[in-house]
Each structure stands twice: as C-alpha cells, then as structure tokens.
Structure 1
Amino acid sequence: MNTVYQRAKAKAQRLDWRPAEETGFVAVAKILKSSGILRSDNGLKGKMGQTLNKVNPLLYSAGYPFHQTSRRKSSDGYTISFKFYSAKAYSQFVVKAFYYEKVDIFMIKFFNKSNRSLNKYAIRTNRGDVRAILRTNFDILTYLSTTHPHASFGFMGERSYFTSKFSHSTLLEPMADNQRFRIYRLFLHQPAHFNWLIQRFELSYIEKLSTCLLVNKNSSNANAAKAKGKQLIDFFGQIYPELNFSRF
C-alpha cells in the first residue's frame, strides 16, 4: 500500500511541480498591476455554460463548535483568533482572521495547531475532514459578518509542497489556480453557502494569486462595490508586494 509520502511524491511528479528555488518567489504587486482587475464570480460554469451551483455531498457538512481565543493589535489593525476541535482529525485547529482597518477587510487563514512550522498554512491534514473544517471556517466568517457588518472578507489558497526525505529538496505547486483555491471556491458555490453570500457580498477572484475577495455590498451600489474591489487590490499590492516560500 502506498504511504502518504509516496502518494504526495507521485502527485508532485505527475503535476510537474517545480523546485522551490525556481518558483518560490511571487511578484504580487507586479501581478496585481498587470492583471489585477477582479473577475466577477456569480456562478461556476460547465462546458456548455450552465451554472454549476448544485449540491455536492462531498462538500456539505455541519461545522464544529468554535470559540474566540484572542484579539491582538497589529500595525495595520488587529488579529482575531479562534479554535475548534475536529473529531475526525483528532486535532485542534486555529483560525486567524487578520483585520486591515484601512480597507475594512478580514483575510482568513487556518492551520492544524500541532503544526508549528513556518509553513503551517500550507501543510495538508490528510485526515479526510475537509468538509467540516471548511464549514467551521464559513461559520466563523458569518459570525464576523454580524460583528463587523460593513467588512469585506478574503482568502488565498496556499500552495502545497513536497519535500524529499533524501535530498531535502522541495517541489512547489503553482501559485495560479491551485488546488486549495479550487476547493475553497467550489465550497463557496454550494447553495447552502452561495445563496447567503451573494445577498451580502460581491464575489470576485484573482486567479493568478489563487485569491478570492468577498466585497461587502452593505449600503453600496454595484459601482461602489467595484471601486471597493479596486481599493483592496491597490492596498494589498502595497503591503504584500511579494511572497517568498522561504519566508513562510
């Protein structure tokens, strides 16, 4: 039977992941400047153009109870931390909601508490509990939207990586349209989530950065929402001009 390590190695080779030395650096500001126009995301489309917002049982589950553990100030705003326990993964998970006061947005990230490495946001759990974990993150998003009714939200799909036990070299998944981003986006398009979202947010994404933005519609018309999206792009291009895998 193939081990988790062997399956991960086979996947990295099959998908032609490239060495971290070659692809670890991502020029965020440059990408945003050249292709930073937000693409509206009002429904996934099939090959014939039909909307694919249908119930997918593989992506629907109840979430876990969660609780807030801290709220800490930062130079750009503050960070709110939450914890929950995954019964299937036998692990505690930490959710970080990074709030940027200047543009009124939360960027949400999560990780398994047992992973303390700098790459903790990119480590896969391999425990088969993705549905409940994503649902709990969604429940935290809905909670924050009640306490911050004018805030927008966003997330970035972290790249997966594979490190050889022998050479210790690392292969990286491409940044654009990566697997986490595709899973998150498909999850958001499940009717139980999507119908709630589109009443409150303009869903947009930057595929080259595997990033989705939920731009708040509160007291705004369509043009105001687009202007807000442009403001968010400009802001993130300034505070995150680049990403580098070695810094994670």
Structure 2
Amino acid sequence: MPEPEASLKIGDLARRTGLTVRTLHHYDALGLLIPSERTGHGHRRYCSADVARLQQIVSLRAVGLSLGAIGALLDDEATDPLYTIEEHLDRLRERIAHEQKLCERLEGIAAHIRSTGTASVEALLDTIRYTTMIDQRYTPEQLAYLKQRADEVGEARIQEVQQEWTDLFAAFDQHREAGADPASPEVQTLAAKAEGLIGEFTGGDAGIREALGNAMNEQPAEAHQAWGITPDLGEYYGRAMSIYHSQRA
C-alpha cells in the first residue's frame, strides 16, 4: 500500500521557496493557489500538485503576466504545464544573451588595458551605449509585458502603427513650420492621437509609460534618431504633449 503523500505547512512552503507567508495568503485569497488540505484547526497544507501550480505562478510572474491573467491561464484545462517553463526559459535566455554580449565587450576592454595600459574612447563609448540602451530602462517584467503586447497586437497592426506615427509626426511638423501654437486645438488633436498610440503600446501600464518618457527626456538625441525626427520637431512635439497632459492633470 503506497504511503500517503507528504504535505507542507505554509511556513515550510514559504521558507523553501523564498516567498513570504503573506504572499501565499494573498494567492489563496485570490483563488490563485488554494491549498489542497486544511487541518482540523484550519491550518493550510500544500501537496505536490499545489507546489507544481505555485511553480507555474512564479514562472508566469517572471515573464510579466498579471495575477489575474495567470489565474485565467492556469484554470484553462487546455493549458500545457510545459508552456510556463518554456516561456520562462525564453526570457532567461534573452537576458543571458544580452549579459553575455556585455561581458564579451568588457573582457575585450580589460584585455586591451592589460596590453596597452589604456582603453580606446570608442570602445568605452560603445560599451556605455550598450549598457544604457533604452530597453535597460524597463524591468524584466515590463520587457516581458511589452513582448506580450506585441504578440497580442500582431505584426500587421504594429506596421500600421509605425505608419501612423510617421504620418502623425509629419502633421506635427507641418504645424510647426506654419508657426502654430502647440496649445492650438489642431495641434492638441494630434497630441490626443499620439497619446492614444502610446496607450496602445504600453497597454495602460503607468510604469512603462514613465520609462518611455524618461528615455525621451534623458536621451533626446537618441530618441529623435530612433523616431526619425529632427530635434526641432522633437522639441515641438514635447511641448504639445506637455500641454496635453497639463490640461488633464
């Protein structure tokens, strides 16, 4: 006769996973991870199936899904448990690949310093650019969420949005050259369209919206180059968007 399966108390599960008891209580309250057993005194006990579900929750959180989305996904009987592990592996491989490239650059600089006593300015600048490139402004969770957004929107819509941005900047530039006030109704209509496209890109995530704004404010030259606009147009666009937001604050 097989021995009964051992179960874990909530404190033991928290200790062995690095999660807090409060987090496990929260998952229980949401219906995301309901322990399979409770003792006569109401104490939670977690079996192997609960641990497997918790691993899926942690992996899906690591790739940027919200708790609500995770619950819906795991409650779908068609969901393959292997999916969560493969998605997590994909994100880890992307991060490792980026860090490996940075490691190779730094090793090259270190070797050059050992042989010559100095490093070229170009090599240092290249490494700085790579270290501080725009996606470093986003957390791994935000990057995963942006990838999810891209998958949801689809390649066709992404191309449409790129063309819409091109047309929108052209319209901004026409008003700029005509001397239109960025606060004018015509320019503010364009600002509203721009805000709509930004909202579609960020999915309404305030953290991603802030990171995008920081990139524009702190590295305007790089942002202008990425968008294919002149500094004058970038400054005009920034003023129009500032007015748009101030009117809705």
Output the TM-score relative to the length of structure 2: 0.23
Between 1 and 2, higher relative CO (CA 8 Å, sep ≥ 6) is seen in 1
Which protein is bigger by CA-based radius of gyration? 2
Query: Between Structure 1 and Structure 2, which shows a larger proportion of strand residues?
Result: 1
